[in-house]
Amino acid sequence: GAGVSQSPSNKVTEKGKDVELRCDPISGHTALYWYRQSLGQGLEFLIYFQGNSAPDKSGLPSDRFSAERTGGSVSTLTIQRTQQEDSAVYLCASSKTSGRAVDTQYFGPGTRLTVL
């Protein structure tokens, strides 16, 4: 594809509900990242997938957050029992990285999540 795509672009949900955010990386990119950006803040790393290796989940803020990547391509970030502090823009990025050094990341447009 032309770039990283994410859906939905905006999601409004009620506190306590579960949400799923989707990311379609650039075809052929082996690495996929999820970040969270709260209003006016920098990006907070959440999780990293590299090929078929076990994901690096070190950035997930709580066990309500989980992510999976099916077939080495599409990824879904799930937030269970959403809280108001989960409101943020969730950004996905992919890169060609096949080694340890992180190369250029290509970002999607993000999903703006609002928890009422």
Partner 1 sequence: SQQGEEDPQALSIQEGENATMNCSYKTSINNLQWYRQNSGRGLVHLILIRSNEREKHSGRLRVTLDTSKKSSSLLITASRAADTASYFCATVGTGANNLFFGTGTRLTVIP
Nearest CA among 50, 39, 38, 41 for reference residue 93: 50
Backbone phi and psi for residue 50, each to the nearest 5 degrees, phi listed first: -135, 105
**3-class secondary-structure state, position 47:** strand
- As a whole number of angstroms, the distance between CA 86 and CA 55 comes to 21
Q: Between residues 23 and 79, which has the closer beta carbon with respect to partner 1? A: 23
Helix (H, G, I), strand (E, B) or coil at 75: strand
Residues 48-87 vs partner 1: string with x where CB under 8 A?
x-x-----x--x----------------------------
Residues in the chain: 116
Pick between residue 18 and residue 85 the one whose CB is nearest to partner 1.
85
Identify which of residues 45 and 81 has a Cβ nearer to partner 1 in the complex.
45
Among 93, 94, 113, 115, binds partner 1 (CB under 8 A): 93
What residues line the site for partner 1 (CB under 8 A)?
4, 33, 35, 37, 39, 41-45, 48, 50, 56, 59, 89, 91, 93, 100-110
